[in-house]
Amino acid sequence: MASELFNIEGDIAIVTGGSRGLGKAMAVGLAKVGAKVVIADIIDSSDTVDEIKKEGHHVLGIKVDVSNVEDVDNMIEKTIENFGNIDILINNAGILRTGKAEELSLEDWNKVIQVNLTGQFICAQTVAKHMLKRGKGNIINISSIAGIRGYAGSAVYSAAKAGLIMMTKTFAAEWGHTLRVNAVCPGVFATDMTDDFLKDKEFMQKLKQKVPMGRHATADELIGTIIYLASKASSYVNGYELVIDGGWSSTL
């Protein structure tokens, strides 16, 4: 029974920003349980593609700027051409810009919003058109606890991630008759993006004090959540933001 609930074998999953970090962990994790994976990233994804292929899994790498409509259209076309359809979109691509709010440049603001919010909208909208025609589909937007709690130095990143949560809820309200759209809000995970933070002794001391579990997460600790949301096990979960942060956001 349990294996049937969590079975996504043969499903076609697009993972944006899938060449490294959390995106790579999710892409590899989905492939290991039998999904056919498309890694869509603006940077070279060949290493991750090769790693998945060596394990005998189905994978395709596509260079995509998620904020570019033509690139996203091409991603859809190539996915359908190679695998026939799209069952799952992991809307993960994102960038980080930090700094004091009063010193944040408009260029940084626009860039983060363009990738982390507009890009996620373009991908979800474009994929949803295909899914709605098929009569089924599953979109998982990767937000952050920075989208539900204020954190000094992350004004634009937090704004984009908060916007993504509300966009998720609105999509679920509009498309819920056919699709499921949920958001995942990770806390601090060890990735290339967080490497500088994890090397900062002051940050690590604060993290140990704030997070009830007393540590950061590894990228692999996100995989189970993604499989749950992508599978029948979460068949009545829609428009929800699932927080995975070791308990950080539950504390005062």
Which of the residues 151, 157, 228, 236 is marked catalytic? 157
Amino acid present at 230: A
Q: What 3-state DSSP class applies to 137?
A: coil
Is 240 designated active site? no
Contact 31, 7 (CB under 8 A): no
Kindly report each contact of residues 65-72 with a partner whose C-beta sits within 8 Å and lies 24 or more positions away, as own/partner.
Answer: 65/119, 66/16, 66/17, 66/40, 66/42, 66/93, 66/115, 66/119, 66/120, 66/122, 66/123, 67/114, 67/115, 67/118, 67/119, 67/122, 68/122, 69/122, 69/126, 72/122, 72/123, 72/126
Query: Which amino acids are annotated catalytic?
Result: 157
